[in-house]
Amino acid sequence: MKYELLIDERIEDKLVRFPRSVVRGIDKALLALTDDPRPRGCRKIRGTKDCWRVTVRKDYRILYRVDDEAKAIEVYEIARKEKDTYRRR
């Protein structure tokens, strides 16, 4: 069963600033998450209950929460990996 993908408008606006090739990779990864919210290679974010990350093109991360009961994935950040990428904003 597919999961519903919930993406904040702030994140959608941010995607416009990324290179086009990166956006294509992010789109592909997001679509794959709807079929399998915890794909091979994803990592649980330490210190959180239900937050995960998936890597896109080595330098970019999609950070998201999975609600298995509601079959929903909430994407709360897409960013280039830097020191503060995993800090709550």
**Alpha carbon 84 to its chain's center:** 16
| CATH code of the domain in which 56 resides | 3.30.2310.20
Domain count, the chain: 1
Q: Which domain holds residue 19?
A: 4-80
Distance from C-alpha of 13 to C-alpha of 5, rounded to nearest angstrom: 16
pLDDT of residue 85: 59
pLDDT of residue 60: 93
∠ at Cα 18 (17, 22), nearest 5°? 160
In a domain, 88, yes or no: no
- Give the pLDDT means over successive 10-residue stretches in the chain (89 positions): 91 90 94 94 90 92 95 93 61
